[in-house]
C-alpha cells in the first residue's frame, strides 16, 4: 500500500481535502432545504451569510476573532485524538484557563501588555493543563473513561466559576457576576489600535494579537506531532496502545502528558476572549467554543492546517449566521444554530458517509496511475 493512500485505497488527498469538501457541500444542500422550507430563498440567504462573514472589514474581523478561539480548542481536541483520547472537556479547560489569564491581568495591573502577555499565556496554559491532566491521570492509572471524566470536569469548572464570580472575584458594589475591569495597560492590542498606529481609522473590532498566538500554536502542534519523539509516542499510543507498551513506550505517561498539552491549548482561549476583548472575567465567556472545537478538529482531520481552515469556516458560520438573523426577520438565531449543527453533523457523525462512493470512484484511477508509473 502506498504511503499516499489509505488502507481502503482512497488517496490521502481525497481524505484530507475532497471528502471534507463534499461533506460541506452536502451540509449546505440540507441547510438550503431547511431555509426553503420556511419560505425563504436559500441562494440569497447563503450568499448573504458569506457576505456578512467576509464581505467587509468588520465581518472579516469578527470571523477571524471567532476562528482564533476555535483554533485553540480544535488543536486541543486534535492533540488528545492523536493519543487515542476523546477530550470533550475543552469547554471546562478553556473556562479554567481563562481564570488563570484573568487573575494575572488583575494582579499585574500596572504592567504593560507586552509584559503581561507571556505571564498570562503561561497562567492560562497551566490552569488549563491541570484541568486536563487530572482526567488524563484518572484514565491512565485508574481506568476512568476520559469522556466521562472530562464531562464531569466541564460541570466542575462551571460550578467553580459561578462560585468565584458570585463571591471572591465579583466587583465590589455590583450585582453582575463578573470581575472588575482589567487595567487598560494590560489590554491586548486590537486591530483598531494597530491600524490607528499606521494611520488608518477603523471601527471597534474584536480581532486582536491572539490570532498570531493561535497560528504559532498550530505550527507548534504540527512540529510536536510529526517531528518530535513525544509526537511519535502519542501517535503510536493512539494507534495501538498494546503495541506501544511492547515497544517500550510508557503509555500511561504519554496519556497524561497528551491531556495536559490538550488542556493547555484550550486554556489559551482566555487570551483572546478576556485579555483581548472583554477585559474582565465573566461567566461563560468561552461560549461553547470548547464543544465546537470537536467539530473543528474532526473536519480538519486532526492536522493543524486543516484545523485552521475549518476554524475559519466555523468562524464564518458564527459571523455570517449572526448577520443573517439580523437581515432576515423570518430566520431566527435558532435556525442559524440549526445550520451550524448540520455542518457539524456532516463533518462529525456522518463524515465517512460518502467515503465508500469515493473509494469506488477513485480507486480504479489510482490503480491505473500506479500501473502507469511502474511501466
* H runs (alpha helix) in the chain: 12-13, 19-37, 42-54, 57-82, 90-107, 113-142, 146-166, 191-197, 210-227, 229-239, 241-246, 251-267, 269-270, 289-299, 304-327, 333-347, 355-374
Please check the confidence at residue 21 and state whether its pLDDT lies above 80. yes
Residue 31 lies in a domain: no
Task: State how far the Cα of 138 lies from the Cα of 223, in Å rounded to an integer.
Answer: 28
Residue 106 lies in a domain: yes
| Total-model pTM | 0.90
Measured CA to CA in angstroms, residue 150 lies from 15, 251, 259 at distances of 29, 19, 10
Tell me how far the alpha carbon of residue 338 is from its chain's centroid: 19
> Which pLDDT band, with edges at 50, 70 and 90, does 67 fall under?
very high
The C-alpha torsion from 362 through 367 and 373 to 375, rounded to 10°, is -150
Give the pLDDT confidence of 304-351 residue by residue, as tens digits.
999 999 999 999 988 988 888 887 777 777 777 888 888 888 877 777
Closest CA to 332 of 24, 53, 34, 63: 34
Contact 116, 180 (CB under 8 A): no
Residue partners of 67: CB distance under 8 A and separation at least 6: 211, 214, 308, 311, 312, 314, 315
pLDDT at residue number 23: 86
Give the pLDDT confidence of 294-304 residue by residue, as tens digits.
989 988 889 99
Residue partners of 102: CB distance under 8 A and separation at least 6: 179, 182, 270, 274, 275, 280, 281
pLDDT at residue number 366: 52
Residue 343 lies in a domain: no
Give the pLDDT confidence of 253-267 residue by residue, as tens digits.
999 999 999 999 999
Residue 13 lies in a domain: no
Closest CA to 281 of 264, 263, 269, 294: 269
Residue 171 lies in a domain: yes
Residue 30 lies in a domain: no
pLDDT at residue number 200: 65
pLDDT at residue number 228: 95
Residue 124 lies in a domain: yes
Task: State how far the Cα of 249 lies from the Cα of 334, in Å rounded to an integer.
Answer: 48
Q: Please give the mean pLDDT across all residues of the chain.
A: 88
Residue 121 lies in a domain: yes
Domain that holds residue 139: 70-301
Task: State how far the Cα of 2 lies from the Cα of 375, in Å rounded to an integer.
Answer: 16
Mean pLDDT of 270-281: 95
Task: State how far the Cα of 295 lies from the Cα of 190, in Å rounded to an integer.
Answer: 28
Domain total for the chain?
1
Amino acid at each position: 500500500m502506498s504511503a499516499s493512500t489509505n488502507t481502503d485505497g482512497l488517496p490521502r488527498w481525497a481524505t484530507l481535502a475532497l471528502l471534507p469538501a463534499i461533506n460541506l457541500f452536502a451540509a449546505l444542500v440540507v441547510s438550503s432545504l431547511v431555509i426553503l422550507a420556511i419560505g425563504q430563498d436559500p441562494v440569497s440567504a447563503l450568499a448573504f451569510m458569506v457576505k456578512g462573514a467576509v464581505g467587509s472589514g468588520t465581518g472579516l474581523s469578527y470571523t477571524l476573532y471567532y476562528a482564533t478561539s476555535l483554533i485553540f480548542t480544535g488543536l486541543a481536541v486534535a492533540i488528545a485524538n492523536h493519543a487515542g483520547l476523546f477530550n470533550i472537556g475543552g469547554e471546562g479547560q478553556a473556562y479554567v484557563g481563562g481564570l488563570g489569564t484573568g487573575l494575572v491581568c488583575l494582579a499585574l495591573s500596572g504592567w504593560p501588555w507586552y509584559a503581561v502577555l507571556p505571564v498570562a499565556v503561561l497562567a492560562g496554559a497551566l490552569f488549563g493543563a491541570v484541568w486536563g491532566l487530572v482526567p488524563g491521570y484518572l484514565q491512565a492509572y485508574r481506568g476512568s473513561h476520559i469522556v466521562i471524566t472530562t464531562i464531569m470536569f466541564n460541570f466542575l469548572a462551571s460550578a467553580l466559576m459561578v462560585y468565584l464570580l458570585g463571591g471572591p472575584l465579583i466587583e465590589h458594589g455590583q450585582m453582575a457576576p463578573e470581575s472588575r475591569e482589567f487595567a487598560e495597560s494590560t489590554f491586548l492590542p486590537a486591530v483598531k489600535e494597530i491600524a490607528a498606529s499606521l494611520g488608518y481609522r477603523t471601527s471597534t473590532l474584536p480581532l486582536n494579537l491572539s490570532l498570531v498566538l493561535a497560528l504559532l500554536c498550530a505550527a507548534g502542534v504540527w512540529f510536536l506531532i510529526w517531528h518530535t519523539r513525544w509526537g511519535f509516542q502519542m501517535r503510536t499510543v493512539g494507534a495501538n496502545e498494546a503495541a506501544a507498551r511492547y515497544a517500550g513506550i510508557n503509555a500511561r505517561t504519554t496519556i497524561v502528558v497528551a491531556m495536559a498539552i490538550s488542556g493547555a491549548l484550550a486554556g489559551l482561549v482566555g487570551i483572546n476572549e478576556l485579555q483581548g476583548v472583554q477585559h474582565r472575567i465573566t461567566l461563560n465567556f468561552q461560549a461553547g467554543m470548547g464543544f465546537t472545537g470537536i467539530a473543528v478538529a474532526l473536519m480538519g482531520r486532526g492536522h493543524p492546517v486543516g484545523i485552521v481552515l475549518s476554524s475559519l469556516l466555523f468562524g464564518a458560520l458564527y459571523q455570517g449566521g449572526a448577520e443573517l438573523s439580523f437581515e432576515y426577520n423570518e430566520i431566527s438565531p435558532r435556525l442559524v444554530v440549526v445550520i451550524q449543527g448540520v455542518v457539524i453533523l456532516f463533518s462529525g457523525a456522518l463524515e465517512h458517509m460518502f467515503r465508500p462512493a469515493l473509494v469506488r470512484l477513485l480507486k480504479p484511477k489510482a490503480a491505473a496511475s500506479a500501473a502507469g508509473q511502474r511501466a
